[in-house]
């Protein structure tokens, strides 16, 4: 029986990030992977705002928009990224009902590329959307999707008990029977 590829099985949403920085050329390959995702009418509706700790102000803006429970662990990651979906299609300027679907696929590519490089990505919906729209002066054209914390795994011994517990929590998935209708 064939097995699932390691870029799928090795991925999980860690809460133990190392502060080790990510080389710019390495980081760019994540967005290069995202670029090559398929999309309805090849619209490529995904956009990204990249925050790099101590390098640009996007990082602090994204961090301060997160729910405190997310800030607790995300603040250790060297990179925070917001994904956005462009809501209307460029060609006909009418709502693109696949904008969010396609953006999710681009992020899926990004996750696979990150995992292949030994990087971890933890996505978050727990942030203040209105605050983000204000801080980045986003108009209605873009729907903010998820914030991603990206980095290498840290040394678990340096982290508080609460995060250690979360890190080792059993992961749950529906069975194939439940998802194959
Ligand atoms: C769109 C989205 C939003 C999420 N929001 C949060 C969040 O706000 N905080 C958090 O700790 N994890 C968040 N997660 C992570 C999920 O809880 C996690 O992916 C899920 O429990 C499965 O675990 P795994 O990624 O380790 O396989 C989010 C994931 C996605 C895809």
123 lines ligand 1 (CB under 6 A): yes
DSSP-derived secondary structure for the chain: -----HHHHT----S-B------HHHHHHHHHHHHT---GGG---EEEEEEETTT-HHHHHHHHHB-HHHHHHHTTSSEEEEEEEE-B-TTT-SB-TTHHHHHHHHHHHHHHHHHHTT-EEEEE--B-HHHHHHHTT--TTEEEEEEEEEE-B--GGGS-HHHHHHHHPPP----HHHH--
Q: Measured from the CB, is residue 71 less than 6 Å from ligand 1?
A: no
Percent of the chain with pLDDT strictly greater than 70: 99
Q: Which domains does the chain have, with CATH numbers?
A: 20-153 (3.40.109.10)
What's the pLDDT tens digit per position in 147-171?
999 999 999 999 999 999 999 999 9
Does the C-beta of 9 come closer than 6 Å to ligand 1? no
- Distance (angstroms) between ligand 1 centre and the Cα of 88 equals 27
What does each of the 181 residues of the chain score in pLDDT, given as a tens digit?
569 999 999 999 999 999 999 999 999 999 999 999 999 999 999 999 999 999 989 999 999 999 999 999 999 999 999 999 999 998 878 999 999 999 999 999 999 999 999 999 999 999 999 999 999 999 899 999 999 999 999 999 999 999 999 999 999 999 999 999 9
């Amino acid at each position: 029986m064939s097995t699932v590829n390691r870029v799928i099985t090795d991925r999980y949403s860690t809460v133990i990030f190392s502060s080790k920085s990510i080389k710019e050329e390495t980081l760019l390959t994540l967005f290069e992977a995202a670029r090559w995702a398929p999309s309805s009418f090849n619209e490529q509706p995904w956009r990204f705002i990249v925050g790099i700790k101590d390098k640009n102000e996007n990082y602090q803006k994204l961090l301060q928009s997160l729910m405190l429970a997310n800030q607790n662990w995300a603040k250790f990651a060297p990179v925070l990224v917001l994904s956005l979906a462009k809501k209307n299609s460029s060609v006909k300027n009418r709502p693109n009902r696949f904008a969010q679907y396609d953006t999710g696929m681009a992020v899926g590519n990004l996750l696979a590329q990150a995992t292949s490089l030994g990087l971890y990505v933890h996505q978050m919906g727990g942030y203040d959307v209105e605050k983000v729209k204000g801080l980045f002066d986003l108009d209605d054209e873009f729907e903010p999707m998820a914030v991603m914390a990206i980095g290498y795994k840290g040394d678990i011994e340096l982290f508080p008990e609460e995060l250690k517990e979360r890190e080792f929590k059993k992961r749950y998935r529906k069975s194939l029977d439940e998802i194959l209708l």
